[in-house]
Amino acid sequence: MEYSKELINRLEEKAKTLRRNVVVSIGVGVAGHIGGSNSSADIVAALYFYKMHYDCKNPEMEDRDRFLLSKGHVAILQYAALAEAGFFPVDDLRHTKEIGFYLQGHPDVRKTPGIEAGTGSLGQGLSIGLGMALGMKADHIDRNVYVLIGDGELGEGQIWEAAMAAGYYKAGNLIAIVDKNNLQASGAVRDRMNSNPVPDKWKSFGWNVIEINGHNMVEILTALDQADQEKGIPTVIIADTVKGKGVSFAENVVGFHNGMLTEETYRQALAELA
């Protein structure tokens, strides 16, 4: 499928805006998940501003696509997208994680419009997404459930239980996206609960597997459209990404999985994302 240069430029600019909003959400002197947020920003921009069907004025409308952030610790990225999509004011991002505010460190379905489930205890999002997908099929709702998973999160056994079940039930409206940035909180994935080779595992459970560069917008859109056409089995998009993408001092640095910005690095990050 051909995509216009205007569309690609608009989505790339939107991804940069999301990264900038992530930095604003973190602020100065408070730890925040810049690494995994920035690695996923292109994917989330494509979902919210190209692919997904939703209504910011009616977040619970039945005929909507669902997005689940299984790696809920990067909630600031989803908040950035929800704000840009009109669910709540962009200026509210500056108050993220303030005591009593509706934008907390992990998504809260009870408080924040546009959130589908409380996530962040890693490994649970795909199971929740499968339940939603099967329920939507039973109700004849022809929409998709998108679940964003971290590659470090693949060390959780519940992911593979859900993957097995989704293959068995042929949940063609379930689309998992693995943010494969190769780093987790404590180091390289290959040196911890090594989930590689990732594609072979998903194929063994009966999934349609698509591998992409997670920062190439054309590849992202192509993969999302291909996944939308696969109705017989679930699809996983394995996106090779760079932790901390777009902020030079954070790229591929484990310490910025949940890092703290100084006044100087805060200003540098915003300047690089201008």
Residue 188 has pLDDT above 90, yes or no: no
Instruction: Average the pLDDT over 154-165 and give the result.
Output: 97
Mean predicted confidence (pLDDT) in 221-246: 97
CA distance 224 to 209: 12
Angle subtended by helix axes 75-84 and 34-46, to nearest 10: 40
Helix/strand/coil for 173 = coil
In this prediction, residue 163 has a pLDDT band, given cuts at 50, 70 and 90, of: very high
Q: What's the gap between Cα 62 and its chain centre? A: 22
The answer to whether residue 272 scores a pLDDT higher than 90 is yes
Instruction: Tell me the C-alpha distance between 198 and 216, whole Å.
Output: 20
| d(C-alpha 243, C-alpha 71), whole Å | 14
Give the total residue count for the chain.
Answer: 274
Residue 111 pLDDT > 90: yes
Assign domain 5-272 to a CATH class. Answer: alpha beta
Element holding 198 (H helix, E strand): helix 198-204
pLDDT digits 0-9 by tens, 49-80 = 999 999 999 999 999 999 999 999 999 999 99
Please, which pLDDT band fits residue 100 given cuts at 50, 70 and 90? very high
Band (pLDDT 50/70/90 cuts) for residue 183 is confident
Element (H, E) at 210: strand 208-213
For CA atoms 64, 65, 69, 70, give the dihedral sign. positive
**What does the angle CA 23 – CA 28 – CA 31 come to, to the nearest 5 degrees?**
75
Domain parsing of the chain, residue ranges = 5-272
Confidence (pLDDT) at 120: 84
The single residue listed with the structure tokens 């993957």 is 163
Answer for the pair 47, 146: CB distance below 8 angstroms, yes or no: yes
CA distance 26 to 144: 31
Does 187 score more than 90 pLDDT? no
Percent of the chain at pLDDT exceeding 70: 100
Amino acid 183 reads L
Cβ neighbours for 236, distance < 8 A, ≥ 6 positions apart: 163, 175, 176, 177, 178, 202, 207, 208, 209, 210
Q: Over the stretch 193-231, which tens digit does the pLDDT of each residue have?
A: 888 899 999 999 999 999 999 999 999 999 999 999 999
Per-residue pLDDT tens for 122-147?
999 999 999 999 999 999 999 999 99
Identify the pLDDT of residue 103. 97
122 burial (CB, 10 Å; 0-12 / 13-18 / 19+) is: buried
User: What pLDDT shows up at residue 60?
Assistant: 95
